[in-house]
């Protein structure tokens, strides 16, 4: 397990990388890896509970517990030579300038020929600027399908449980994708604790817990699939395009063998409230895969390297869970200013570079649906061929689309009243309304009719609600016209027919 991590750790140690930062809370796994690494160096460990100890014998090496004193001692070349120094729980100390400067001193000694390595193990990533060029980050791999099957089998054996059928084993392995070995074992123990066996009923528990774990990690969120394509009124071109991609996506192996490229994803840009997010959600349901939402705002961390680390983590997690849809909401928020004169920060520019490279080279079944309101803020590189399979523009719904949107939302709340409502009257009165505006009108009308004690919602209730609504185009007329022009100029595909 975690073979790649172990391989990289050994390689980096042999190559003289001064500080290796293993980003994990599975400390025992790292211990195991070091024990079986075959290195003949002595290993010393520092942790807050035991102070400075010999890693193998656990005997104290220094009476003084303070990290500061330990780092002082290691400054003596003879003490440091041919050692691996393992530091646990030091993330908080990495905000202390004195500690950082001492670690830098040790890193410099290694760079000038001392045979040693400092390994930091922590589940939070704190990279002080002064140490940036000395640190190499390693992340724990996620086990793949067959490995997860093996973990489940081992768990069943260890607990002397009844074997489970092949079909359930595969479904469980799929449900566990994107969790570490440690997390998989924890969830298995939880599922086992309630009734002493693993059954189909546990899949639900696994899914819920996995949702929590992913959310706690902070950058990705697993969104439950409620919306279907039938819930989108209009946007026929976009829906048709998705349907064609779904044909490839649901039959990936065969499509790949046939020579079809792995679909990369789509950028959907346009007016707020007109169904962009709805399309991202419905796409995952159509593809029959999980939907992950990437929070671009949270990606930007406060430490150097943290943002890139976060992106790498998010991508690794999405790839581990794949096939999936990765929805990147409000793309322009993260990459505003790049390529323009107002100067994005170095961090955003680097992050953007990493994102582009990933999009360009990606051949994993992570289908990206990026949504953006303001395309003018997006850097042109993003729109070059090879990044997205297609770019769509979503405008205000035309007459026929507004009728469909009314139909969908009335049907959701008052299906029986639909037949008597004159939709064409509503359509005439709602030029310039967004899908979200129309949903608002239906909600208001239903609420009003209820309060007034009416048996059914009628056309007039909806017309009254329309009268009381300030539509999107009324509120931001100029901005919308400018946007529409921008899209025309760039010749994006229109999502509507």
Write out the residues near ligand ATP by the rule CB under 6 A.
232-235, 272-278, 371, 373, 405, 408, 435-436, 439
Q: Phi, psi at residue 29, to the nearest 5°?
A: -65, -40
* Phi/psi-derived region of residue 261, left when phi > 0, alpha when psi is between -120 and 50, beta in every other case: beta
Give dist(CA 167, CA 148) in Å, integer: 14
Shortest Å, Cβ 260 to ligand ATP:
29
Q: Shortest gap between Cβ of 275 and ligand ATP (angstroms)?
A: 3
- Distance of closest approach, residue 329 Cβ to ligand ATP, in angstroms: 7
Helices (H), 132-180: 145-158, 166-176
Question: How far is the first Cα of the chain from the last one, in angstroms, to the nearest whole number?
Answer: 51
Minimum CB–partner distance for residue 278 and ligand ATP (Å): 4
Residue nearest to ligand ATP (CB): 435
Bridge partners for 390 per DSSP: 266
The minimum distance between CB 476 and ligand ATP, in angstroms, equals 12
Q: How far is the CB of 378 from ligand ATP (least distance, A)?
A: 14
Nearer to ligand ATP, 181 or 439 (CB): 439
Q: Please name the residues in contact with 49: beta carbons below 8 A apart, sequence gap of 6 or more.
A: none
Residue 436 CB, shortest distance to ligand ATP, in Å, is 4
Q: For 496, phi and psi rounded to 5 degrees?
A: -95, 155
User: Smaller CB distance to ligand ATP: residue 18 or 270?
Assistant: 270
**Backbone region of residue 98 per phi and psi (left: phi > 0; alpha: psi in -120 to 50; beta: other values):** alpha
Q: Which is nearer to ligand ATP, 141 or 439 (CB)?
A: 439
Closer to ligand ATP by Cβ: residue 128 or 273: 273
Backbone phi and psi for residue 2, each to the nearest 5 degrees, phi listed first: 50, 40
18 touches 59 (CB < 8 A): no
Separation in Å, CA 279 to CA 60, 239, 243, 248:
60, 8, 12, 18
Question: Would you give the distance in Å from CA 205 to the centre of its chain?
Answer: 21
- CB nearer to ligand ATP: give 304 or 382: 382
Q: Which residues contact 191 (CB under 8 A, 6 or more apart)?
A: 198, 202, 205, 206
Shortest Å, Cβ 20 to ligand ATP: 41
- Strands (E) in 6-41, as ranges, are 19-23
> Nearer Cβ to ligand ATP, position 202 or 332?
332
Distance in Å, CB of 200 to ligand ATP, minimum = 32
CA distance 35 to 58: 13
Min CB(494)–ligand ATP separation in Å: 13
**CB–CB of 408/414 below 8 Å?**
no
152 or 325: CB nearest ligand ATP: 325
Cβ proximity to ligand ATP: between 183 and 437 the closer is: 437
Contact, 41 vs 84, CB < 8 A? Answer: yes
β-strands 366-372, 324-328 pairing: parallel
Three-state DSSP class for 48?
coil
Rounded to an integer, what distance in angstroms lies between the CA atom of residue 105 and that of residue 85? 14
Could you tell me the smallest distance in angstroms from the CB atom of residue 422 to ligand ATP? 20
CB of 402 to ligand ATP, least distance (A): 9
Q: Return the SS3 of 136.
A: strand
Strand 51-54 versus strand 42-47 pairing type: antiparallel
| 128 versus 275: smaller Cβ distance to ligand ATP | 275
| Residue closer to ligand ATP, measured from CB, 223 or 408 | 408
Taking the complex as a whole, the smallest distance from the CB of residue 438 to ligand ATP amounts, in Å, to 7
Question: Exposed, middle or buried by CB within 10 Å (0-12, 13-18, 19+), for 415?
Answer: exposed
**Residue with Cβ nearer ligand ATP (51 or 270):** 270
Cβ proximity to ligand ATP: between 308 and 439 the closer is 439
Q: Give the nearer residue to ligand ATP in terms of CB position, either 128 or 233.
A: 233
Paired tokens of 244: 């064609």
Cα–Cα distance for residue pair 429/450, rounded to 1 Å: 23
Angle between helices 166-176 and 202-217 (to 10 degrees): 20
């Amino acid at each position: 397990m975690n073979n790649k991590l172990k391989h990289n750790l050994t390689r980096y140690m042999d190559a003289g990388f001064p500080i290796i930062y293993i980003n994990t809370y599975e400390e025992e796994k790292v211990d195991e890896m070091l024990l079986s690494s075959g290195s003949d160096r002595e290993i010393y460990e520092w942790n807050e509970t035991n102070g400075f100890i010999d890693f193998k014998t656990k005997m104290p090496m220094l009476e003084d517990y303070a990290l500061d004193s330990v780092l002082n001692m290691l400054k003596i070349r003879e003490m440091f030579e041919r050692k691996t120094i393992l530091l646990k729980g030091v993330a908080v100390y990495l905000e202390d300038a004195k500690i950082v400067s001492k670690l830098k001193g040790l890193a410099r000694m290694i760079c000038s020929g001392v045979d040693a390595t400092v390994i930091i193990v922590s589940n939070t990533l704190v990279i002080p600027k002064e140490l940036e060029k000395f640190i190499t980050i390693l992340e724990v791999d996620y086990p793949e399908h067959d490995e997860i099957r093996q973990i489940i089998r081992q768990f069943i054996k260890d607990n002397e449980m009844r074997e489970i059928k092949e079909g359930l084993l595969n479904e469980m392995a799929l449900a566990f994708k994107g969790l570490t070995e440690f997390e998989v074992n924890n969830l298995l123990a939880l599922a086992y604790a309630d009734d002493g066996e693993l059954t189909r009923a546990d899949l639900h528990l696994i899914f819920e817990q996995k949702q929590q774990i992913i959310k706690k990690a902070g950058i990705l969120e697993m969104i439950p699939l409620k919306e279907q394509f039938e819930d989108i009124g209009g946007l026929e071109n976009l829906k048709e395009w998705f349907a064609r991609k779904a044909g490839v996506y649901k039959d990936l192996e065969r499509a790949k063998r046939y020579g079809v490229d792995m679909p990369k994803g789509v950028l959907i840009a346009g007016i707020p409230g007109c169904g962009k997010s709805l399309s991202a959600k419905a796409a995952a349901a159509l593809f029959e895969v999980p939907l992950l939402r990437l929070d671009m705002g949270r990606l930007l961390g406060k430490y150097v390297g943290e943002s890139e680390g976060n992106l790498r983590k998010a991508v690794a997690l999405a790839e581990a869970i794949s096939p999936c849809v990765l929805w990147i909401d409000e793309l322009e928020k993260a990459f505003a200013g790049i390529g323009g004169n107002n100067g994005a920060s170095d961090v955003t520019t680097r992050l953007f570079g990493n994102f582009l490279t990933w999009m360009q080279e990606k051949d994993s079944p992570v289908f990206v649906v990026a949504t953006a309101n303001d395309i003018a803020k997006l850097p042109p590189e993003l729109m070059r061929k090879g990044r997205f399979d297609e770019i769509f523009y979503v405008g205000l719904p035309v007459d026929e689309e507004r009728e469909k949107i009314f139909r969908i939302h009335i049907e959701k709340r008052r299906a029986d009243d639909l037949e008597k409502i004159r939709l064409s009257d509503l359509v005439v009165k709602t030029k310039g309304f967004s899908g979200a505006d129309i949903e608002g009108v239906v909600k208001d009308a239903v609420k009003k009719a209820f309060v007034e004690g009416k048996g059914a919602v009628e056309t007039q209730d909806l017309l009254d609600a329309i009268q009381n609504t300030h539509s999107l185009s009324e509120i931001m007329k100029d901005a919308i016209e400018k946007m529409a022009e921008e899209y025309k100029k760039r010749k994006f595909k229109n999502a509507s027919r």
